[in-house]
Amino acid sequence: MARIAVVGCGHVGLVAAGAFASLGHDVLAIDIDADRVRMVREGRSPIYEPGLEELLQRALEAGRLTVHEGFPASLDSEFVFLAVGTPASTGGASDLRAVRDAVSSLVPALHPDAVIVNKSTVPIGTGNIIAQIAKRAGADSVSVVSNPEFLQEGTAVHNFLEPDRIVLGSDDPGATARVAALYERVDAPILETDLRTAEMIKYASNAFLATKVSFINEMASICEAVGADISVVAEGMGQDARIGSQFLRAGIGWGGSCFPKDVAALEHTASTFGAHPQLLRAVIEINREQRRRILQKARAVLGTLESRRIVVLGAAFKPNTDDIRESPALEVADLLRLGGASVVVHDPHVPTSVIQREFPSLEVERDLLAAAAGADAIVLATEWPEFRDAPWSEMAAAMRTPLLLDGRNFLDGQQLRDAGFTYRGIGRPAQEGPAADATTDEAELAQGLVMVGRE
Ligand SMILES: NC(=O)c1ccc[n+]([C@@H]2O[C@H](COP(=O)([O-])OP(=O)(O)OC[C@H]3O[C@@H](n4cnc5c(N)ncnc54)[C@H](O)[C@@H]3O)[C@@H](O)[C@H]2O)c1
Burial of 291 (0-12, 13-18, 19+ CB in 10 A): buried
Region 299-310: mean pLDDT is 97
The band of 138, judged by pLDDT with boundaries at 50, 70 and 90, is: confident
Ligand 1 neighbour 134 (Cβ under 6 A): no
Ligand 1 neighbour 293 (Cβ under 6 A): no
Q: Residue 403 — φ and ψ, nearest 5°?
A: -110, 130
| Pairing status of strand 363-364 against strand 342-346 | parallel
Q: Are residues 391 and 353 in the same domain?
A: yes
Alpha carbon of 83 to ligand 1 centroid (Å): 5
Question: Which atom of ligand 1 has the smallest separation from the CA of 98?
Answer: 28
Number of H helices, E strands in the chain: 17, 14
Alpha carbon of 138 to ligand 1 centroid (Å): 25
Residue 449 lies in a domain: no
Ligand 1 neighbour 121 (Cβ under 6 A): yes
Q: Are residues 120 and 210 in the same domain?
A: no
Which tens digits make up the pLDDT trace of 175-225? 999 999 999 999 999 999 999 999 999 999 999 999 999 999 999 999 999
Residue 436 confidence (pLDDT) above 50: no
**Cα–Cα distance measured from residue 328 to residue 332, given in angstroms and rounded to the nearest whole number:** 6
Which tens digits make up the pLDDT trace of 352-391? 999 999 999 999 999 999 999 999 999 999 999 999 999 9
Which stretch of 18-27, 153-162, 328-337, 445-454 has the lowest confidence by average pLDDT? 445-454
Residue 455 confidence (pLDDT) above 50: no
Q: Are residues 188 and 232 in the same domain?
A: no
Q: What CATH number is given to the structural domain containing 327?
A: 3.40.50.720
Q: Are residues 151 and 8 in the same domain?
A: yes
Helix (H, G, I), strand (E, B) or coil at 24: coil
The answer to whether 339 and 319 are in contact (CB under 8 A) is: no
Residue 296: CB atoms within 10 A of its CB come to: 9
Q: Which amino acid is at 386?
A: E
Q: Of 165, 193, 221, which closes a domain?
A: 193
Question: Of the residues 31, 81, 152, 164, which should be mutated to test ligand 1's pocket, given the most ligand atoms within 8 Å of the CB?
Answer: 31
Q: Are residues 325 and 408 in the same domain?
A: yes
Ligand 1 neighbour 85 (Cβ under 6 A): yes
Residue 447 lies in a domain: no
Residue 454 lies in a domain: no
Radius of gyration in angstroms for the set of CA atoms belonging to the chain, rounded to a whole number: 25
Residue 446 lies in a domain: no
Residue 166: CB atoms within 10 A of its CB come to: 19
Ligand 1 neighbour 31 (Cβ under 6 A): yes
Q: Are residues 70 and 146 in the same domain?
A: yes
**Cα–Cα distance measured from residue 312 to residue 344, given in angstroms and rounded to the nearest whole number:** 6
Question: Which atom of ligand 1 has the smallest separation from the CA of 47?
Answer: 20
Residue 90: CB atoms within 10 A of its CB come to: 6
Please confirm, yes or no, whether 9 is among the known catalytic residues.
no
**Cα–Cα distance measured from residue 410 to residue 421, given in angstroms and rounded to the nearest whole number:** 15
Residue 432 lies in a domain: no
- DSSP per-residue letters across 74-89: ----SEEEE-----B-
The H or E element spanning position 404 is strand 403-406
CA–CA–CA angle 192, 13, 163 (5° rounding):
45
| pLDDT value of residue 454 | 45
Alpha carbon of 181 to ligand 1 centroid (Å): 24
Alpha carbon of 8 to ligand 1 centroid (Å): 6
- DSSP per-residue letters across 274-290: T---HHHHHHHHHHHHH
Region 58-75: mean pLDDT is 97
Residue 358 lies in a domain: yes
Question: Which atom of ligand 1 has the smallest separation from the CA of 14?
Answer: 16
Ligand 1 neighbour 13 (Cβ under 6 A): yes
What are the helix (H) ranges across 183-277? Answer: 195-226, 230-238, 259-272
Residue 108 confidence (pLDDT) above 70: yes
Ligand 1 neighbour 36 (Cβ under 6 A): yes
Residue 432 confidence (pLDDT) above 80: no
Output the pTM of the full model: 0.92
Q: Are residues 222 and 186 in the same domain?
A: no
Report the percent of the chain where pLDDT is more than 70.
95
Question: Which atom of ligand 1 has the smallest separation from the CA of 101?
Answer: 31
Region 104-131: mean pLDDT is 95
Q: Are residues 252 and 337 in the same domain?
A: yes
Q: Are residues 99 and 40 in the same domain?
A: yes
Q: Are residues 401 and 302 in the same domain?
A: yes
Residue 445 lies in a domain: no
* Average model confidence (pLDDT) across the chain: 94
Alpha carbon of 373 to ligand 1 centroid (Å): 39
Q: Of 193, 217, 244, which closes a domain?
A: 193
Q: Are residues 179 and 216 in the same domain?
A: no
Residue 455 lies in a domain: no
Question: Which atom of ligand 1 has the smallest separation from the CA of 122?
Answer: 41
**Cα–Cα distance measured from residue 223 to residue 231, given in angstroms and rounded to the nearest whole number:** 10
Residue 378: CB atoms within 10 A of its CB come to: 29
Q: What's the domain range around 181?
A: 3-193
- Which of 59, 67, 258, 419 is catalytic? The answer is 258
| pLDDT value of residue 141 | 86
The band of 287, judged by pLDDT with boundaries at 50, 70 and 90, is: very high
Which tens digits make up the pLDDT trace of 223-248? 999 999 999 999 999 999 999 999 99
Across the beta sheet with 143-146, the strand order is: 65-69, 26-31, 3-7, 79-82, 115-118, 143-146, 166-169, 190-193
Q: Of 193, 216, 242, which closes a domain?
A: 193
Q: Are residues 31 and 89 in the same domain?
A: yes
**Cα–Cα distance measured from residue 246 to residue 156, given in angstroms and rounded to the nearest whole number:** 17
Q: Considering its fold, how many domains does the chain have in total?
A: 2
